[in-house]
C-alpha cells in the first residue's frame, strides 16, 4: 500500500497489527483498548470510527469499530485486508438469539453466516456462496471458551440487512433451518476474507431473544460482553 490513508481510515502503513478485533461500536473499541491492551495508541479518528493498536500478552493487536450493517463493515474490513495487510479480523458483537438452545449471555461462535443481503452478487458466481469462518480461528475460539468456562454455542448465524423487518415471520423461517442468532455483519466479513485470502471469525454475545422476550439491561450487556472480549484476544 502507499503511505496515504484511505477516505475512511487515517492509519499509516505499519500502524495496524496483523490481527484486528472489531466491535461495531467505536466506543467499545476504545473500552477494549483501554481495558485489555497495553501501550495502546489510537491510529484512526476519521468519522469517529476509533481504532487502536497495542499489546496483549506479548502479541501486537489492533481493535477498531466497524459500524452497523453489511455496507459499513464491508468497507472497513475490505480496506483492512487489502490496503493495510491485516491477516485476521475477529468481529465481536451482539446478536438476538433465535434458537431454542440459545439464551441471553451465551456466546455464539459463527461457523457460517446466512444472509438476506445481495452482497455476494458483486462476485458474479455461478451459484450461491456460503460464507464461513476460518477454521483455525473457530477452533481456537471454542477452545478458549472452554478454558475460560464460558458457555459457547457454535453454528450458523443470520446476517440481516434489516433491523426492522416488514416480514413478521422472517426470523421463524430462519429458526426452522437451525440458525442460532441474528446479527448484521458476519456475512460480509466472511466474504471479504475469502476474496482476499485472509481469515475471519464472528463472536457474538446474545443480548436478547425475540421469541422469549429475554433481554439484558445496558449494565448486564457490559458484564456479559466481557466474556466474549476475553475469548477474542486469547486467539489473536
pLDDT at residue 2, rounded to an integer:
59
Longest dimension (CA), the chain: 51
**25, 166, 169, 208: which is the annotated catalytic residue?**
208
Q: How many CB atoms lie within 10 A of CB 224?
A: 18
- Residue 165: half-sphere exposure toward Cβ, Cα within 13 Å: 17
What is the rounded CA–CA span in Å between residue 190 and residue 131?
5
pLDDT at residue 4, rounded to an integer:
62
The SS3 of residue 137 is helix
Percentage of residues of the chain with pLDDT beyond 70: 97
pLDDT range class, residue 218, cuts 50, 70, 90: confident
pLDDT at residue 226, rounded to an integer:
86
pLDDT of 224 above 70: no
The SS3 of residue 13 is coil
Residue whose C-alpha cell reads 455483519 in the numeric block: 185
Q: Is 136 a catalytic residue?
A: no
pLDDT at residue 121, rounded to an integer:
98
What is the rounded CA–CA span in Å between residue 66 and residue 25?
7
Mean pLDDT for all residues in the chain: 95
- Phi/psi for 63 (5° steps) reads -140, 135
The SS3 of residue 212 is coil
pLDDT range class, residue 219, cuts 50, 70, 90: confident
Average pLDDT over residues 84-105: 96
User: How far from chain centre, in Å, is Cα 94?
Assistant: 9
User: How far from chain centre, in Å, is Cα 195?
Assistant: 17
Please give the grid coordinates belonging to residue 181: 442468532
Please give the grid coordinates belonging to residue 12: 499509516
pLDDT at residue 6, rounded to an integer:
94
Name the H helices within the chain: 26-36, 70-83, 135-147, 170-175, 186-196, 218-234
pLDDT at residue 222, rounded to an integer:
62
What is the rounded CA–CA span in Å between residue 49 and residue 77?
13
Say if residues 51 and 63 touch (Cβ distance below 8 Å): yes
Say if residues 174 and 64 touch (Cβ distance below 8 Å): no
How is the chain split among helix, strand and coil, in percent rounded to 5? 35, 30, 35
pLDDT, tens digit (0-9, with 9 covering 90-100), for 143-194: 999 999 999 999 999 999 999 999 999 999 999 999 999 999 999 999 999 9
DSSP structural state of residue 11: P
Average pLDDT over residues 131-144: 98
pLDDT, tens digit (0-9, with 9 covering 90-100), for 50-68: 999 999 999 999 999 999 9
pLDDT at residue 200, rounded to an integer:
98
Q: Which of 95, 116, 71, 109 is nearest to 235 (CA)?
A: 109
pLDDT of 223 above 70: no
Amino acid at each position: 500500500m502507499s503511505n496515504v490513508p484511505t477516505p475512511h481510515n487515517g492509519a499509516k502503513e505499519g500502524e495496524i497489527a496483523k490481527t484486528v478485533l472489531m466491535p461495531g461500536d467505536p466506543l467499545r473499541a476504545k473500552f477494549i483498548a483501554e481495558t485489555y491492551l497495553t501501550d495502546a495508541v489510537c491510529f484512526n479518528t476519521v468519522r469517529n470510527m476509533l481504532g487502536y493498536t497495542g499489546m496483549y500478552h506479548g502479541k501486537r493487536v489492533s481493535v477498531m469499530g466497524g459500524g452497523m450493517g453489511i455496507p459499513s463493515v464491508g468497507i472497513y474490513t475490505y480496506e483492512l485486508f487489502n490496503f493495510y495487510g491485516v491477516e485476521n479480523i475477529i468481529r465481536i458483537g451482539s446478536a438476538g438469539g433465535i434458537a431454542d438452545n440459545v439464551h441471553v449471555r451465551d456466546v455464539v461462535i459463527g461457523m457460517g453466516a446466512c444472509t438476506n443481503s445481495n452482497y455476494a452478487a458483486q462476485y458474479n458466481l455461478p451459484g450461491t456462496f456460503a460464507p464461513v469462518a476460518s477454521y483455525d480461528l473457530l477452533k481456537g475460539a471454542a477452545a478458549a471458551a472452554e478454558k475460560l468456562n464460558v458457555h459457547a454455542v457454535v453454528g450458523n448465524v443470520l446476517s440481516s440487512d434489516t433491523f426492522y423487518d416488514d416480514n413478521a415471520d422472517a426470523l421463524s423461517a430462519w429458526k426452522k433451518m437451525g440458525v442460532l442468532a441474528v446479527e448484521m455483519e458476519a456475512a460480509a466479513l466472511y466474504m471479504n476474507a475469502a476474496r482476499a485470502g485472509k481469515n475471519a471469525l464472528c463472536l457474538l454475545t446474545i443480548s436478547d431473544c425475540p421469541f422469549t422476550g429475554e433481554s439484558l439491561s445496558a449494565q448486564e450487556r457490559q458484564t456479559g460482553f466481557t466474556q466474549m472480549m476475553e475469548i477474542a484476544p486469547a486467539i489473536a
